[in-house]
Each structure stands twice: as structure tokens, then as C-alpha cells.
Amino acid sequence: MSLTNETHDPAARSWVASAQDAASDFPIQNLPFAIFRRQGSEEAFRAGVAIGDQIVDLAAGAGDVFTGAAATAAAAGARDSLNDLMALAPEFHTALRLQLFHALREGSEKHSHLEPHLIPQAQAEYDVPAHIGDYTDFYTSVHHATTVGKQFRPDNPLLPNYKWVPIGYHGRASSIGVSGQRFKRPLGQTKAPDSETPSFGPSKRLDYELELGWFIGRGNPLGAPIGIEKGEDHLFGVTLFNDWSARDIQGWEYQPLGPFLSKNFASTVSPWLVTLEALAPFRVAFTRPEGDPQPLTYLDSESNRRVGAFSIDLEVLIQTASMRDAAIAPVRLSRTNAARAAYWTPAQLVAHHTVNGCNLRPGDLLGSGTLSGPEAAEAGSLMELTGGGKAPIELPNGERRVFLEDGDALIIRGWCEAHGARRIGLGEVSGIVEAR
């Protein structure tokens, strides 16, 4: 059965003029969700949908535009988080998306009803899209795992379980912020190789991690695993995600139980959540390199092999404080594609996470882990790009970077392109490191 429908028609046009821009992340074929309010206002945060450079205010437009299941979904989205909307069955999300598409389409009779409920994105401020109850970070890029492993275990970079089990750890949800997040350089213990004792102070090896964040929609009861065939029914959508990492703190603390203070000081998500339905034209086959083990039965299905991966282009840019002062635009550090980088699909992450009976809840976040592609220029962290700090990066203004310095802004952008489909985007996520 085809996963695409009329909402993916590349010829469809919106009466919102900015949605026709070929470079727009948010044409009528996308329609991602966010939680927003007008900048500087005391308004309640509520759900909106992007179209071009505008936001459809779902709370204001629900009575005039939506009916049936779509009205139920729009009302659920009128609250200060997307959790209630996420908790609805997928058919409610589909109904809302379809009615939005028709209301925003060129020639729609709903034009006059919906236009008063548009707010320019430039006049909005955003919150984290959902109340995140639990956050799990995975380790889905075999290229990242191998490159980092070589720095610590040259003779055995990839641990023997990696190609059999989706590796993950439970992270901290309370410090996840929305794009624009500013945070102070983390403090912690570190231990130099030539020192007998650790020392305490600010991290000197602060890094970013290029990730995608998959938000859970419907949950599952405790003790009831979600099978691979149903995994995507429990995913609401995807966002851009930066899981900042203090590599020097991490190197000292992570054995034997994994990351702790090196990760829980800040993580940043994009405000925009792109639905799985919008991603349908950009699905690709999930394959394994020849000679690698095939997934165990509970992680394998015909549909997952055929269309379980997603082709999402990703790039990372940096803008130092000096660059901002001189009005120098951010410069690219790396670029990759999620399908090239990820060894496991989102459905496999859901199936593995719940196979032991773990219950997921609406708004839970699954981080992909650092998405590094097979080539050096596709690395998703400075730890890889600089060879663990041995090869500084030269920036256009003459500055050099090994790890992040105070004042640095890190930007991640994502988009999808495919033959016969309209380009859509995930927007961007940015954050700034402040001095301790």
C-alpha cells in the first residue's frame, strides 16, 4: 500500500505566497507542528502549524475550519504542549493534516476563515514541542561508533554487541531546551592521562552532537511490547536535536555506567516537529553492508527493510562570537544524510525499547545518537572532525577550533529532497555556549 497521498502532490500550491518559495522548508506538503506564542506577549503557548513563513494558530482556527476527527485533533493541539495531540490515534493526525492541506491549498473556500489566524514566524517565540517525560539517547551511527572507538580502542573500535543490539542510555529530560537555548559551560571532574588524580573545573572539550529526535505519539501499557510492524504507529514525528557533550568529563565518568554530567547540562531541539506522514516520499530501503549480521527477528520486518529508513539531509554550521560581531555568516562544518549514517531505523528503536515490557508515553523523546556518515566530511561531532583534538579546524576569519569556545553558536539544519517530491525542511536548531 502506498504511504503517499494527495497531501504529497508536488504540484500542490498554497494561497500563502511564501510557501511557493522553492527554498522554503515549509511548503504545503510539509505542515509541521510547534508550540508557540507571539514574542514578548503574555499569551498562552499553544500549537501551530508552519506554512511558508507563517504559523497557523490551531486554537484560533479550530472552530471555523476543522470538523470531525480533525477538530478533535486541533482542540488537543490548542494546549501548551503537543502531548494530548500526540496521544491520539494516527487517524486523527491524518485527518487534521488533510483538512489543513485543503484549507491552505490555492483556491480553498476556507481561505478567508484561516487567513486571520496566521501569525508571522518572525513574530513568534517557541517552547519545547512536548512535555518530555523520558528521554533515551541511542547510538545509531556505526561510523560514529567506529571513529570514536578508534580513539580509545585502536585494535577493537567497535564493541561486539553493536551490530546486534540498538545501544542506548536514559538521559535527562529536564535540561532539554528549544532552539536558541543558551547554557553555561559545564563543570565537572576530568582526569588528564599523565595525572594520578582528577581535577575539577569547566570542561575544556565541549562538543556538539548532530542528531535527530523522534517523538513518541501513542504510548503502550507496561509489559506490552510494541512489535516492529507497529513501531511507526507510535511515532508522532521527528525534529532536529543537538545533544551537547563534555568529552573530557565523559572520558573520566562513563565507565562503567555511561554518560552522566557530561550530557545532562543541556540538549537542544528544534521547535518544529515534522510528522512521519510528511516524510513518506523520502523513505528509503533499510539495508546492511554485505557480511554484517541481519537483525534478530523482533527487529526485522518486510516493510522495515523496504521503506524503514528516511533520507534526511543534515548539515552543521558554526558562528563564533567574533564572526557575529563582524557580520560573518555561519560556516559549514559537515554535511551528511541520516539514511547513510544510521545503522538502525526508528521503528527498530521503538521495538527494542519496549521488547522487555518498557512503557513509552506520549512526548517521550528518542535521540538518534550522533549521525556521522562514512566519509570524514560527514562527521557529526568535533571529536571526529578534529581527530580527538589533534587537527584544529581553520575558520574563514582566521580563528581555529578544536572544541567549542565560549560564545560559539552551533546550528543544525535538515531537509528532504527526492525525485518527484517537493522539498521539505525540518527548520534549524541553534544554541550558544556561554562562559562559566
DSSP E strands in 245-288: the ranges are: 245-246, 267-269, 274-275, 283-284
Average pLDDT over residues 426-434: 98
Same domain flag for 172 and 53: no
Cell (9 digits) for 277:
506522514
- Is the predicted pLDDT of residue 380 greater than 60, yes or no? yes
Question: What is the Cα–Cα distance from 310 to 307, expressed in whole angstroms?
Answer: 8
pTM of the model: 0.97
Same domain flag for 265 and 357: yes
Q: Cα 250 from chain centroid? A: 22
User: Does residue 420 lie in a domain region?
Assistant: no
* CATH number of 200's domain: 3.90.850.10
Q: Which residue has the cell 502532490?
A: 9
Question: What is the Cα–Cα distance from 233 to 218, expressed in whole angstroms?
Answer: 8
| CA-wise closest residue to 436 among 395, 388, 404 | 404
User: Does residue 405 lie in a domain region?
Assistant: no
- Is the predicted pLDDT of residue 313 greater than 80, yes or no? yes
Any idea what DSSP says for residue 105? Answer: B
Q: What is the pLDDT of residues 60-97, one digit of tens each?
A: 876 678 999 999 999 998 899 999 999 999 999 999 99
Question: What is the Cα–Cα distance from 59 to 322, expressed in whole angstroms?
Answer: 42
- Is the predicted pLDDT of residue 43 greater than 70, yes or no? yes
Cell (9 digits) for 309:
529508513
Is there a cis peptide before residue 281, judged by omega within 30 degrees of 0?
no
Same domain flag for 184 and 290: yes
- Is the predicted pLDDT of residue 322 greater than 80, yes or no? yes
Same domain flag for 220 and 81: no
Average pLDDT over residues 414-431: 98
User: Does residue 200 lie in a domain region?
Assistant: yes
- Is the predicted pLDDT of residue 248 greater than 80, yes or no? yes
Cell (9 digits) for 147:
571513529
Q: What is the pLDDT of residues 181-191, one digit of tens each?
A: 999 999 999 99
Same domain flag for 140 and 11: no
Which residues sit opposite 51 in a β-bridge?
A: 54
Question: What is the Cα–Cα distance from 78 to 73, expressed in whole angstroms?
Answer: 9
Average pLDDT over residues 148-164: 88
Give residue 1's pLDDT band: very low, low, confident or very high (50, 70, 90). Answer: low
- pLDDT at position 153: 82
User: Does residue 366 lie in a domain region?
Assistant: yes
Q: Which residue has the cell 527526492?
A: 418
Angle between helices 68-76 and 58-65 (to 10 degrees): 160
Give residue 108's pLDDT band: very low, low, confident or very high (50, 70, 90). Answer: very high
Residues marked active site are found at: 144
Same domain flag for 95 and 144: no
Q: What is the pLDDT of residues 7-24, one digit of tens each?
A: 999 999 999 999 999 999
* Domain of 60, in residue numbers: 6-126
User: Does residue 205 lie in a domain region?
Assistant: yes
Same domain flag for 144 and 248: yes
Same domain flag for 54 and 144: no
Q: Cα 363 from chain centroid? A: 13
CB contact at 8 A, 215 and 235:
yes
Task: Please give the share of the chain, as a percent, with pLDDT higher than 70.
Answer: 99
